[in-house]
Amino acid sequence: TQLLEQSPQFLSIQEGENLTVYCNSSSVFSSLQWYRQEPGEGPVLLVTVVTGGEVKKLKRLTFQFGDARKDSSLHITAAQPGDTGLYLCAGPASGGYQKVTFGTGTKLQVIP
């Protein structure tokens, strides 16, 4: 079973601060996705990273895939209250049936 551990589990910060969320596994993933889920809604896909070492930017969000494709990070610069939500990483493990595994989630609260 491929597990994705996210840290921190909870994060409460002031508007304007920077933060990093981590997604780690002992397994290799062929790709990793990051989602954001707001209360009462389904998760929304933010980005997919595919290549080891890849960095993708989405406005104030920077996503990085580890060189060995076992981990990923999400960095938010100058957090806004609209960034509040549950952040989930997910990915299909390499080899065989690529069942998608979801991370344990990071709940972010940005205080105005």
Partner 1 sequence: NAGVMQNPRHLVRRRGQEARLRCSPMKGHSHVYWYRQLPEEGLKFMVYLQKENIIDESGMPKERFSAEFPKEGPSILRIQQVVRGDSAAYFCASSPSLGEQYFGPGTRLTVT
Q: Which of 14, 42, 82, 112 binds partner 1 (CB under 8 A)?
A: 42
26 touches partner 1 (CB under 8 A):
no
105 touches partner 1 (CB under 8 A):
yes
E strands along the chain, which residues? Answer: 5-7, 10-14, 19-24, 32-37, 44-49, 55-58, 61-65, 71-76, 85-92, 100-102, 106-111
Q: Which of 15, 58, 99, 109 binds partner 1 (CB under 8 A)?
A: 99
Q: Which of 61, 88, 108, 110 binds partner 1 (CB under 8 A)?
A: 88
